[in-house]
Amino acid sequence: MKTLHEVGTLGGWMNDVLISWGIPSEYANMFDEFVVAALIILLAVGLNYFFQAIVVGGIKRYARRFPYRWNTLLVKRKVVHHLLHVVPGVLIYLLLPLAFVKGKDMLVFSQRICAVYIIVAILLTLNAMLLVMLDIYNSKEIRKNHPIRGLVQVCQVVLFFLGGILIVATLINKSPITLFAGLGAAATVLMLVFKDSILGFVSGVQLSANDMLRIGDWVTLPNGMADGIVQEITLNTVKIQNWDNTITTIPPYTMVNSTFQNWRGMQESGGRRVDKRIWLDLDTIRFSTPEELERIRKEVPLMSDYVPAEGEMPTNSQLYREYIERYLMSLPVVNQDLDLIITQKEPTERGLPIRVYFFSRVKAWKQYEHIQSDIFDHLLGMAPRFSLKLYQGI
């Protein structure tokens, strides 16, 4: 006599099939529901591959024909791919009661596993959407001024944290609200576990809100920890590529709690500062005679129209400072709109320092070093024309 389960259900139909294949009825009664469940899963997987081929394949072809930013990123980050995984999960969840009619406990367990699968698929979809938004934002010029990778990472942490709570609540058949209430007692532990992430997030907000650091900034940290270009700002790290092409990784809160030098102001200004000294031998400094002044006018074109103040007898050091100023003002590479100061500082045991202070229009490191080296080579070479000797220690 067949039971109600064996009549008019998929399980009963499968039971008859298994018995017709020569399998003893006691084994057929044990495995018929599992076989039906396996068939349902195979059907769902097949449909998943079908939809993946149709939908994802169609989007890929569309992205190749119309390569707009958003559709290309949907393919790259697999947003639709993860979203379509929800379909077989929902299908299996709805069809499982047709398989497990006798085994109620197995039905509940299977549906919980299926619900976890659906939650994971949704989490991966939302995470992919966050990455798409990040990619679109990073393609904009504004991203250098306001990087949001750290903020996106915080959203990812919150997303997967909430997803983890939902998964645990589903597996143990408890309300997520109950689990959240229980987490209050574990807040201290969570603070310890996520300490770096919390500090990194707060520091990242400070760096961004106060415009202290941007991607592409040249920064220098004390003690030679880093000296290079900021490549990436994330929740837990600031990545700096040093000039020797090594990479220094620093926690954001280190940048907030300690001092660092940001050269952005120089890069955005009209010039890069040059501030050096030329040391003159004190024994060679003297007043210039009219004959010597006339010789300088003839030998040094930039001084041809120089006339001292009435009654003034300039020193050769004074003439040399005048020449330095005129020479720098004649160079197109020197920004005349910014400070140009040639001054004499206090004498020391090393001689008399002449401070040369100006700004180069060229700010790139290699060209900047080349330009200032050429300028000072010329100034050092011109000192003997003014009967001056440069100081060099014995």
Res. 7 pLDDT band, cuts 50 70 90: very low
Residue 319 sits in the same domain as residue 193: no
- 135-170 pLDDT, tens digit each: 887 777 655 556 677 677 778 878 888 888 888 888
Residue 6 sits in the same domain as residue 122: yes
Question: Which residues in 154-165 are b (16+ Cβ under 10 Å) and which e?
Answer: bbbeeebeebee
Residue 154 sits in the same domain as residue 118: no
Domain at 355, CATH number: 3.30.70.100
- Phi-psi region at 309: left, alpha or beta (left = phi > 0; alpha = psi -120 to 50): beta
What is the per-residue pLDDT for 17? 60
What are the beta bridge partners of residue 344? Answer: 354
Residue 7 sits in the same domain as residue 132: yes
Q: How far apart are the first and last CA of the chain?
A: 118
Residue type present at position 238: V
Question: Which residues in 81-103 are b (16+ Cβ under 10 Å) and which e?
Answer: bbbbbbbbbebbbebbeebbbbb
Confirm whether 330 is domain-assigned.
Answer: yes
Residue written as tokens 């650091």? Answer: 213
**Could you tell me how far CA 382 lies from the centroid of its own chain?**
49
Q: Which residue has the higher pLDDT, 370 or 171?
A: 370
Confirm whether 117 is domain-assigned.
Answer: yes
- Does an H or E element contain 356, and which? strand 352-360
- 251-266 pLDDT, tens digit each: 887 887 778 888 887 7
Confirm whether 203 is domain-assigned.
Answer: yes
Res. 3 pLDDT band, cuts 50 70 90: very low
Confirm whether 394 is domain-assigned.
Answer: no
What is the per-residue pLDDT for 380? 95
Residue 15 in this model has a pLDDT that exceeds 70: no
What is the per-residue pLDDT for 70? 66
Q: Out of 232, 263, 294, pick the residue that ends a domain.
A: 263
Q: Which residue has the higher pLDDT, 210 or 355?
A: 355
What is the per-residue pLDDT for 42? 87
Residue 383 in this model has a pLDDT that exceeds 70: yes
Least confident of 130-134, 186-190, 216-220: 186-190
Instruction: Give the closest residue to 211 by CA, choosing from 264, 253, 251, 250.
Output: 264
Phi and psi for 262 in degrees, rounded to 5?
-110, 125
Residue 225 sits in the same domain as residue 304: no
Res. 6 pLDDT band, cuts 50 70 90: very low
For 200, half-sphere exposure in the C-beta direction (CA atoms, 13 angstrom radius) is 21
- Phi-psi region at 247: left, alpha or beta (left = phi > 0; alpha = psi -120 to 50): beta
Residue 87 sits in the same domain as residue 102: yes
Residue 10 sits in the same domain as residue 80: yes
Q: Out of 124, 139, 154, pick the residue that ends a domain.
A: 139
The count of structural domains within the chain is 3
Paired tokens of 120: 């994971």
- Euclidean distance between CA atoms 331 and 30, whole angstroms: 95
Confirm whether 393 is domain-assigned.
Answer: no
For 198, half-sphere exposure in the C-beta direction (CA atoms, 13 angstrom radius) is 8
SS3 assignment, position 359: strand
The chain-wide mean pLDDT, for the chain, equals 81
Residue 109 sits in the same domain as residue 79: yes
pLDDT above 90 covers what percent of the chain? 29
Range of the domain at 83: 1-139
Residue 59 sits in the same domain as residue 159: no
Residue 148 sits in the same domain as residue 240: yes
Nearest 5 degrees, angle CA 29-CA 32-CA 37? Answer: 145
- Euclidean distance between CA atoms 215 and 224, whole angstroms: 20
Least confident of 13-27, 29-43, 102-116, 189-203: 13-27
- 81-100 pLDDT, tens digit each: 888 888 888 888 888 887 77
pTM (whole model) above 0.85: no
Residue 186 sits in the same domain as residue 245: yes
Phi and psi for 342 in degrees, rounded to 5?
-120, 115
Residue 273 sits in the same domain as residue 199: no
What is the per-residue pLDDT for 375? 95
Confirm whether 392 is domain-assigned.
Answer: no
User: Residue 4, Cβ neighbours under 10 Å: how many?
Assistant: 10
- 28-83 pLDDT, tens digit each: 454 556 666 777 888 888 888 888 888 877 777 776 776 666 667 777 788 888 88
Confirm whether 172 is domain-assigned.
Answer: yes
Domain at 220, CATH number: 2.30.30.60
- 166-215 pLDDT, tens digit each: 888 888 888 877 777 666 656 666 666 667 777 777 777 677 666 778 88
Residue written as tokens 């001092």? Answer: 259
Q: Out of 263, 278, 300, pick the residue that ends a domain.
A: 263
Confirm whether 391 is domain-assigned.
Answer: no
Q: Length of the chain in residues, anyone?
A: 394
